Structure 1
């Protein structure tokens, strides 16, 4: 990645939905977020049968590991840091992208739909919980009680950009724990879930090609991140998925990662260069925040205000006719769904290859 030049960085239109001083910017801008936190989220998600059925059917994580990671991380970063118009546009096109991920469950009967509110709630909570957990374990530590309250209120606000209801978002750590306990009987480590989880734990798949002399170091970094991510997963979840790692490794990796992340966090340009290795398209999203470049309008909006200003529907109500046509193609005609949403998303979330 070429050296960043401050004058070449495009400022955001506004502060989006959170802004400077928010706990979201504090937690999501720490280097644990795009690494261990994000990897934990996408690995844990696969235990949900409808979600992993959609992932397996599209095969994106296997055929385009690097670009899939890049595009997904870019979207999550946009919600936290980008301008409100850009985020509304991304959330809107994501509904069309997810309309392709529908079909019949491979185990136990029934159907899946990536736009289903229950699936979106699972994604939202595993994502936000994982980012916070990684920050606490390998970063500065636990938030204050007031910061944690603000964090889960922010999670509920961000849920307005998904098809789930913000009313279903717990507003406390205890509420989040209760949600995961309710979900636990519904989770399953099916063959496709185990395959996906083990694949997503291979951090080296999202790194760019490296010269032969640098490969040992690159693989060592990938191995360390894998160990760190597994160390954040509860034992029952590891046992369910057949993921083995000793308690000794769980302990030893903590000081290693805390030190590495603290050192990286000392220099914003170093952080951005490291981010560019795992998610090039996310750099433009977070660079203005890291380098203190103010937006064109220094204001924070709510999702409702942003939708009204920029002319977007609530995600749960967006593209209903298109989604109905997709369902008719798949369940009625037995055809493959249209990839129109994926094609349109490239302008916003980055190329597919």
Structure 2
């Protein structure tokens, strides 16, 4: 197959990473619903975890630097799905050090939280992969076949090997996914800080603030449909918990509009990359080879275990244990701020902090 002029300007990846072109992950995450509506839904739903949102509220990063925070988060998930094995394994390792800073005491129940906790990491993983799939179903081509869905969740379990949670705890079917949410439901909290964070994260105007005045009405309209589209994917009990009421009429309105929008956008890979460049510029070099069909220098697909062995990284659950202990001693033992060393180390891997 001939490679286009634009594709020839893209740097090929070193390998296919952990999934590759035969994966269902590439099929679902490669559709334009994924890193837009799907990913926004993921970061919104995540905030219902009281430990996670306590960390988010403590740093205030989503309010102080929303664009770079969103950019780095999208970049990481895109690396896991589309990136070559070497930079992805490196990102997974440095993220453990980044998360070692996100420790403290939850303000309502008084529990200690730790972003590296396996339960919190499982919540982040499952809500991300489910949200991307949900957006694909509602605003994209529709439901996967039973075999594809089983493969998708098996691939999600593979992605779990890059976090501190266990692949064994990942749901492997729609029924297991629903059972997981039912187990988590009593733990979730629509606290004031959660509701504030969720509302803030659905405001995409903060990610595209350099729009000329003449285009601002269009930005408002896009933002309205974006927010309504995210809410329409949420079950009603979750909307009530988050104080996000939305009428059935709006739910019914946004679905055909967004389906048509994404269907029109899907054939144009260049336009998708331009939109991604507005939302997450550091992610473009990761996704561009996949969208533009640029083959890697090696057609390998590795497992996370193979990558760790090749590049010399520990399993995330066992990584940087001494460093994490020192962080806990600083925070819980001496009442000091945790070190920012992990954040600084992550800049060349996940993108700038400011």
8 Å CA contact retained: 1:23, 1:151: yes
Q: What residue in structure 2 maps to residue 202 of structure 1?
A: 203
Per-residue deviation at 1:279? 0.9
Per-residue deviation at 1:320? 0.5
Per-residue deviation at 1:147? 0.3
Q: Give the Cα separation in 2 of the matches to 1:312 and 1:193.
A: 34
Classify the secondary structure of the residue corresponding to 2:185: helix
Q: Give the Cα separation in 1 of the matches to 2:7 and 2:36.
A: 24
Q: What residue in structure 2 maps to residue 59 of structure 1?
A: 60
Q: What residue in structure 1 maps to residue 341 of structure 2?
A: 340
Q: What residue in structure 2 maps to residue 140 of structure 1?
A: 141
Q: Give the Cα separation in 2 of the matches to 1:238 and 1:25.
A: 29
Q: Give the Cα separation in 2 of the matches to 1:9 and 1:338.
A: 37
Q: What residue in structure 2 maps to residue 49 of structure 1?
A: 50
Per-residue deviation at 1:208? 4.2
8 Å CA contact retained: 2:7, 2:293: no
Q: Deviations over 1:33-91 (max 9, x none)?
A: 01110000100111111110111111111111111111100100000000001100000
Q: Write out the 4+ residue segments of structure 1 that deviate beyond 2 Å after TM superposition.
A: 4-8
Q: What residue in structure 2 maps to residue 220 of structure 1?
A: 221
Q: How does 1:131-280 map to 2 (within 5 A)?
A: 131-280=132-281
Per-residue deviation at 1:144? 0.4
Q: Deviations over 1:153-184 (max 9, x none)?
A: 00000000000000111111100110000000
Q: Give the Cα separation in 2 of the matches to 1:172 and 1:200.
A: 28
Q: Give the Cα separation in 2 of the matches to 1:7 and 1:99.
A: 40
Per-residue deviation at 1:22? 1.1
8 Å CA contact retained: 1:9, 1:287: yes
Q: How does 1:77-116 map to 2 (within 5 A)?
A: 77-116=78-117
Classify the secondary structure of the residue corresponding to 2:224: helix
Classify the secondary structure of the residue corresponding to 2:230: helix
Q: Give the Cα separation in 1 of the matches to 2:184 and 2:203.
A: 26
Classify the secondary structure of the residue corresponding to 2:336: coil
Q: What residue in structure 1 maps to residue 306 of structure 2?
A: 305
Is 1:71 the counterpart of 2:69? The answer is no
Q: TM-score, normalised by structure 2?
A: 0.98
Per-residue deviation at 1:97? 0.5
Classify the secondary structure of the residue corresponding to 2:186: helix
8 Å CA contact retained: 2:164, 2:317: yes
Q: Give the Cα separation in 1 of the matches to 2:80 and 2:209.
A: 25
**Structure 1 vs Structure 2 CA RMSD:** 0.9
Q: Give the Cα separation in 2 of the matches to 1:64 and 1:140.
A: 34
Q: Deviations over 1:69-127 (max 9, x none)?
A: 11100100000000001100000000000000000110112200000000000001000
Q: TM-score, normalised by structure 1?
A: 0.98
8 Å CA contact retained: 2:118, 2:164: yes
Q: What residue in structure 2 maps to residue 20 of structure 1?
A: 21
Classify the secondary structure of the residue corresponding to 1:299: coil
8 Å CA contact retained: 2:19, 2:26: yes
Q: What residue in structure 2 maps to residue 35 of structure 1?
A: 36
Per-residue deviation at 1:204? 1.1
Q: Give the Cα separation in 1 of the matches to 2:74 and 2:199.
A: 19
Q: Deviations over 1:208-243 (max 9, x none)?
A: 411111111112111111000000011011111111
Classify the secondary structure of the residue corresponding to 1:185: coil
| Residue-pair matches, total | 350
8 Å CA contact retained: 1:208, 1:278: no
Per-residue deviation at 1:350? 0.5
Q: Give the Cα separation in 2 of the matches to 1:237 and 1:188.
A: 10
Which ranges of structure 2 fall in alignment gaps of 5 or more residues? none
Which ranges of structure 1 fall in alignment gaps of 5 or more residues? none
